[in-house]
A and B are shown apart, each in its own frame.
Chain A
Amino acid sequence: MPDRRLIILAAIACASIIAFMTIGLRGNMVFVLQLRGLKLLALIQVSVSIALSTVLFQTVTANRILTPSIMGLDALYLFGQTALVFALGGLGYASLNGGLKFGAEVIVMIALAMGLLWPMLRSRMDMSLMLLMGVTLGLLFRSLSALLSRVIDPNDFAIVQTASFANFNMLRADLTIIGTIITLGAALLCWQKRHVLDIIGLGRETAIGLGVHWIRAATGLLLLVSVLVAVSTALVGPVAFFGLLVAALAERLMQTQRHALLLPAASFIAIIVLVGGQTILQHGLGGASTLGVVIEFAGGLLFLALLILGSRK
């Protein structure tokens, strides 16, 4: 018997999907539906992968205000975009082969994550040190991008600006489908491991006592998180605070840390926010702003609220 709150969330998520697909339909039906279907697939893929990766990351680090962006993956992505624009110019950047770029971005980001995780797997480093290294590298990449964007000309800078927020308007069908398959695989894996995740959430020592092979489990999870983040970032761009928003809402709503409830709840909330938000922006506000910007804004406010409420408790 599934939880009632989950059913309600699923219903709202379905409603936003239907609204997204049907509101304001006109012209060539097949063409419009195909276009919207692709966009919907990308939105859902990003929703689920950000929701899962944030919940998993918070579980394994036992910290409720961290997001995977602390590992510096999105900073690397941004730096990559800036460097490409710097090296090739705006025109060269725009004419890059999308598939090749996507593949290379995913591989580079996963390589960074492996580089960070390897010493931990060899037990030469504990997790907090690994995270600190991620923070430092993130800072380095951000500073490098800032440096490069001062050097490039203003037109190129505008291109970098556009690339630094999530963008759901320029999608390629084949890449979206690859991303969706990877996310689906990850989601199935999480579901299968949901009981072990509950144990991992108890912290290292208790989890070892209950028979979890900690190093293997923790590095495996962090790698899974990196893959999810890499794929969704390469597909649409960075969405930093979105994961925090979703994970915090899911935990507040479900009042539990059981992953069997938390993971689907976070995924549904992400779909509601992203698909519903996109629908409202497109049809309610006439596309006045980019969804990415709005989400960063709302997510940032929520982050502050969490810090303040958390310190009061």
Chain B
Amino acid sequence: MIRIENVSLSYRDVPILRDITLSLDRGGIIALVGPNGAGKSTLFSLMARLQPLQSGRITIDDLPVDRTPSRQLAQRLAILRQDGAVASRLTVRELVGFGRFPHHQGHPGVEDLALVDAALEQFELKALSERFIDTLSGGQRQRAMVAMTFCQGTDYLLLDEPLNNLDMFHARQLMRSLRSIADERQRTAIIVLHDINQAAAYADRIVAMRDGRVIADGTPDAVLTQDNLEAIFGYRMQIEQMGGKPFVLHHL
């Protein structure tokens, strides 16, 4: 369980996050949504220990993120940023293999190699596995990064806009993979998402932020109402029910 208690953060005197308290249970997909500048990515960096906490506390399975050794956290929490610049002269297989590093510290065992193979298979990277990262397209590289994150085999996955650069086929496939590890292995995926309909279709819970505050939190049905969406994004949009899921016509 990830607990965020009274977390605030400001740059100079501009508040980015204002007193956020959330607890995220194990198992399931939690989508973080909100307009640009809402503080989603900042909250993400704090949870991922990429940035020091200014006030408040964040714990992952009761381990405080700011004081637990990085390696111990890496065995429980895998992160994927939007713009993970990657050294070029690495093959896809090497990159995905790095996901096992927190477990083997440079000496992969049979099990690690098998997990790498499985991740390559799962994200259809088998044919690309010996290619260098800098020869891939943006979407293929994103898939390799996602495969590395999955390969880390952690209970918690933090993904910052993982659907960037992915085509419809691979976006759907990624969301389905997340769904299956959440359902079958009780894992938790916390995703910053811009596509509200992906969140509606796959998330168990949606946390909506605006101006550094959480302004709506609950199941997709509860959060995706006309009033809530107007409060979050600043305009009224039509919502339909399709296949038992809310479908937001945000582009009309």
A and B are partners in one complex rather than unrelated chains: yes
Interface residues in A57-74 by Cβ distance below 8 A to B read 62
For residue B73, CB closer than 8 A to chain A, the reply is yes
| Cβ contacts A223-265/B at 8 Å (1 or 0 each) | 0000000000000000000000000000100011110000000
For residue A202, CB closer than 8 A to chain B, the reply is yes
Please determine whether A257 and B106 come into contact, CB atoms closer than 8 angstroms. Answer: no
List residues of chain A with CB within 8 A of the CB of B102.
210-211
Interface residues in B54-105 by Cβ distance below 8 A to A read 69-75, 77-81, 84-90, 94-95, 98-99, 101-102, 105
Interface residues in B107-166 by Cβ distance below 8 A to A read 107, 149, 152
**B74 → chain A closest CB, angstroms:** 3
Please determine whether B87 and A211 come into contact, CB atoms closer than 8 angstroms. Answer: no
Please determine whether B84 and A206 come into contact, CB atoms closer than 8 angstroms. Answer: yes
Q: Which residue of A lies closest to B95 (CB)?
A: A202
List residues of chain A with CB within 8 A of the CB of B72.
211
| Cβ contacts B160-202/A at 8 Å (1 or 0 each) | 0000000000000000000000000000000000000000000
For residue A293, CB closer than 8 A to chain B, the reply is no
A210 and B50 CA atoms in complex are apart in Å by: 12
For residue B236, CB closer than 8 A to chain A, the reply is no
| Cβ contacts A201-230/B at 8 Å (1 or 0 each) | 111111011111110000000000000000
| Max count, chain A CB within 10 A of own CB: residue among B90, B101, B149 | B101
Please determine whether B87 and A257 come into contact, CB atoms closer than 8 angstroms. Answer: yes
For residue A198, CB closer than 8 A to chain B, the reply is yes
A251 and B94 CA atoms in complex are apart in Å by: 16
Please determine whether B48 and A256 come into contact, CB atoms closer than 8 angstroms. Answer: no
User: Which of B70, B74, B98 interacts with A198 by CB under 8 Å?
Assistant: B98
User: Which of A195, A202, A211 interacts with B71 by CB under 8 Å?
Assistant: A211
For residue A196, CB closer than 8 A to chain B, the reply is yes
Please determine whether A209 and B52 come into contact, CB atoms closer than 8 angstroms. Answer: no
For residue A199, CB closer than 8 A to chain B, the reply is yes
User: Which of A123, A204, A210 interacts with B98 by CB under 8 Å?
Assistant: A210
**A56 → chain B closest CB, angstroms:** 14
Please determine whether B85 and A203 come into contact, CB atoms closer than 8 angstroms. Answer: yes
**B23 → chain A closest CB, angstroms:** 22
For residue B213, CB closer than 8 A to chain A, the reply is no
User: Which of B79, B95, B106 interacts with A209 by CB under 8 Å?
Assistant: B79
**A162 → chain B closest CB, angstroms:** 39
A169 and B84 CA atoms in complex are apart in Å by: 47
Q: Known contacts A202-B87, A251-B89, A257-B90: does B80 contact A209 (CB below 8 Å)? A: yes
List residues of chain B with CB within 8 A of the CB of A142.
none
Q: Known contacts A209-B80, A210-B101: does B52 contact A257 (CB below 8 Å)? A: no
A195 and B104 CA atoms in complex are apart in Å by: 10
User: Which of A209, A213, A255 interacts with B69 by CB under 8 Å?
Assistant: A213
Please determine whether A195 and B87 come into contact, CB atoms closer than 8 angstroms. Answer: no
Q: Which residue of B lies closest to A214 (CB)?
A: B70
Please determine whether A212 and B87 come into contact, CB atoms closer than 8 angstroms. Answer: no
For residue B3, CB closer than 8 A to chain A, the reply is no
Q: Known contacts A195-B101, A202-B98, A258-B94: does B48 contact A208 (CB below 8 Å)? A: yes
Q: Known contacts A205-B50, A205-B79: does B99 contact A210 (CB below 8 Å)? A: yes
A198 and B106 CA atoms in complex are apart in Å by: 9
| Max count, chain B CB within 10 A of own CB: residue among A123, A209, A214, A256 | A209
List residues of chain A with CB within 8 A of the CB of B84.
202-203, 205-206
**A207 → chain B closest CB, angstroms:** 9
List residues of chain A with CB within 8 A of the CB of B74.
209-211
Q: Which residue of B lies closest to A204 (CB)?
A: B50
**A220 → chain B closest CB, angstroms:** 14
**B213 → chain A closest CB, angstroms:** 26
List residues of chain A with CB within 8 A of the CB of B101.
195, 199, 210-211
Please determine whether B90 and A208 come into contact, CB atoms closer than 8 angstroms. Answer: no
Q: Known contacts A195-B106, A211-B75: does B81 contact A205 (CB below 8 Å)? A: yes
List residues of chain A with CB within 8 A of the CB of B26.
none
Please determine whether A62 and B73 come into contact, CB atoms closer than 8 angstroms. Answer: no
List residues of chain A with CB within 8 A of the CB of B89.
251, 255-257
Interface residues in A281-313 by Cβ distance below 8 A to B read none
Please determine whether A202 and B106 come into contact, CB atoms closer than 8 angstroms. Answer: no
Q: Known contacts A202-B86, A203-B86, A256-B90: does B105 contact A208 (CB below 8 Å)? A: no
| Max count, chain B CB within 10 A of own CB: residue among A195, A210, A251 | A210
For residue B18, CB closer than 8 A to chain A, the reply is no
A62 and B85 CA atoms in complex are apart in Å by: 9
List residues of chain A with CB within 8 A of the CB of B86.
202-203, 206
Q: Which residue of A lies closest to B89 (CB)?
A: A257
**9 A-B pairs (CB sep. < 8 Å):** A195-B106, A196-B106, A202-B98, A209-B77, A209-B79, A211-B71, A211-B74, A213-B71, A256-B89
Residues of A whose CB lies within 8 Å of any CB of B are 62, 123, 194-196, 198-199, 201-206, 208-214, 251, 255-258
